[in-house]
Structure 1
Amino acid sequence: MSPISVEFLGTGTSQGIPMIACSCEVCTSSDQHDQRLRVSMHIQTQGKSFIIDTGPDFRQQMLRASIKHVDAVIYTHEHKDHTAGMDDLRGFNYVQKSSIPLYAQVSVIEQLKREFAYAFGDNKYPGVPEIETFPITNQVFEIQGVKIQPILVRHYMLDVFGFRFGDFTYITDANYISEEELEKVKGSQVLVINALKKTSHISHFTLDEALEIIEKVKPERAYITHISHQMGLHAEVQKELPPHVYLAYDGLQLSLS
């Protein structure tokens, strides 16, 4: 397996932490681990640089992580907290002197075309994002020599893709994974999976439900992402988790070799 380096660019839910106008103990925490931008991931392998999802905090995330080059963007699904920052790919267009490939389900591409119509028109205004779209299905696909395995999950009534790169699997925005799809995840050295909070939610795993998935997959290490302020303080929740399970946090970097 080729070495893989990943960085959690954001680990928060759709409203981020702190949430606007909230004065709970998590949103007012001085612990940097409790301050979460919207979910996104940077993956580097085989000399390539990939971003998973461009949420509303995309510009801030790119600057904070000092990311200078992007070979492709891969989208999990079409919700705004995963797509809203697509316009800021313009910076990479300017520096790289090339368009940026976007890989996503057809439904996501169609949503991007509605939300960013100015970037897809025949007579584009100078300076709009220069992008190319490539539809993906629930089959292994390849980007510049890197093979990627989609993992089809359900986010209430919506199909969402998780992705496996070698022994690293990333799943966000899910509340159901079939046994067939779970087989694709088994054998992962590292699993990242979403858990919104401890109590029930219509479209996200709870912490206990995520831990059940982790127990089935049995990765060496697992990380929880897409966390809301209702989960509780990072330091306190971490103490409750099994030894090989961690709450992810913004800026966390991992290496797999």
Structure 2
Amino acid sequence: MEIGLKITFLGTGTSQGIPVIGSKHPVCLSKNPKDKRLRVSVMVSWENNNYVIDCGPDFRQQMLTHKVDKLDGILFTHEHADHTAGIDDIRPFFFRQGDIPIYAHKRVVDSLKHRFDYIFAGENRYPGAPGVQVNFVKNNHSFNVGGLEVVPIEAYHNRLQVFGYRIKDFAYFTDLKTISDTEIEKTKGVKVLVVNALREEPHHSHFNLEEALEFAEKIQPEKTYLTHISHMLGFHNEVEKKLPDNVHLAYDNLIVNL
């Protein structure tokens, strides 16, 4: 039987989220729920599995919003705070399930060990701290989660290596600025592509809208969803009208089924 994927957009905002604290920018003052964006993350679910890609500072709120009571693992793209700062909030899952598997580049794990040393203290871990089961992700080495193959895809966020992930016909990228043709080939044939599009103006470490659309054109998925969006991109409804028919702005709590 063919296994279907359910993609839940937990957050679609950039590092400050939208609204930005104290901002009087019109998008930050918008009443449209689609203009309110938590820090970027998705949950990929199938059968009885829930895997989250990145867990930022809004992780607790996102889990409560979607009534998630089981977490099978976290795939990290890179170590920046807006993608990792929620790791302490895996505690309720740990208390019920035991150590939570995490999947990340060794560099990212080293960063987590430095910033959240109490989680990685082994037998000396404080009784109230969560525990994790570490799995290192290496480029050109696929791995298995919940019976499905995950293909890591290497890209760069300015000079920082980041991983995108492909699961079946779904591929997810965030904080992407450059990627080689070799890695792009690993993404060909997906039906749903998610990729960052920060704003219209060029940025030193993120795709702007034009670059994200050019990337989608190379991949040729059936549908592309743009994420990691800043308030500077504009109002959701206005930007959506300007996009190609098969490209959409993702928004918080959007669910896509494959």
TM bucket (normalised to shorter chain) is over 0.9
Residue type at the aligned position of 1:83: T
- Partner of residue 24, structure 2: 23
CA-to-aligned-CA distance 1:53-106 (integer Å, 9 cap, x gap): 11000000000111110111110000000000000000101222x110111000
State the SS of the aligned residue for 2:83.
helix
Cα deviation for residue 237 of structure 1 reads 0.4
Residue type of the partner of 2:19?
Answer: P
Note the aligned Cα RMSD (angstroms): 0.9
The aligned residue for residue 108 of structure 2 is: 108
Match of 1:174 among 173, 176, 183: 176
* Partners of 2:95 and 2:130 within 8 A in 1: no
Which position in structure 2 is the counterpart of 1:51?
Answer: 52
Unaligned runs of 5+ in 1: none
Q: Would the aligned equivalents of 1:2 and 1:166 in 2 still touch at CA under 8 Å? A: no
Moved more, 103-112 or 131-140: 131-140
Question: Helix, strand or coil: the match of 1:142?
Answer: strand
Residue among 173, 196, 199 paired with 2:198: 196
Alignment of 1:1-257 (within 5 A): 1-96=2-97, 98-121=98-121, 122-138=123-139, 139-256=141-258
Question: Where do 5+ consecutive residues of structure 2 fail to align?
Answer: none
Provide the rounded CA distance (Å) in 2 between the counterparts of 1:117 and 1:19: 30
Query: Residues of 2 paired with 1:241 and 1:190: CA distance?
Result: 16
What is the CA-CA distance between 1:177 and the residue it aligns to?
A: 1.3
Shift of 1:51: 0.7
Distance 1:159 1:178 in 2: 12
Question: Does structure 2 retain, via aligned residues, the 8 Å contact 1:113–1:120?
Answer: yes
Matches of 2:126 and 2:245 in 1, distance apart? 53
Equivalent residues of 2:169, 2:190 under 8 A apart: yes
Q: Which amino acid aligns with 1:153?
A: A
Report the Cα distance in structure 2 between the residues aligned to 1:86 and 1:22, rounded to whole angstroms: 27
For residues 151 and 237 of structure 2, the distance between their equivalents in structure 1, rounded to whole angstroms, comes to 33
TM-score relative to the length of structure 1: 0.97
In the alignment, the residues of structure 2 paired with residue 37 and residue 154 of structure 1 have an alpha-carbon distance, to the nearest angstrom, of 23
* CA distance in 1 between partners of 2:232 and 2:160 (Å): 23
**One-letter identity of the residue aligned with 2:213:** L
Please list every run of at least 4 consecutive aligned residues from structure 1 whose deviation after the TM superposition is greater than 2 angstroms: none
Q: Can you list the C-alpha shifts for 1:21-52, whole angstroms capped at 9, x where unaligned?
A: 10111000000000000001100124321011
CA distance in 1, matches of 2:47, 2:179: 29
SS in 1 for 2:65: helix
Which AA in structure 2 matches 1:93?
A: F
For 2:114, what is the secondary structure of its paired residue? helix
What is the distance in 2 between the residues matched to 1:27 and 1:110? Answer: 35
- Measured in 1, the distance between the counterparts of 2:153 and 2:120 equals 28
Deviations 1:112-150 (A, max 9, x none): 000101111241111101111111101211124221001
SS at match of 2:218: helix
Identity among equivalent positions (%) equals 49
CA contact (8 A) 2:12 2:252 kept: yes
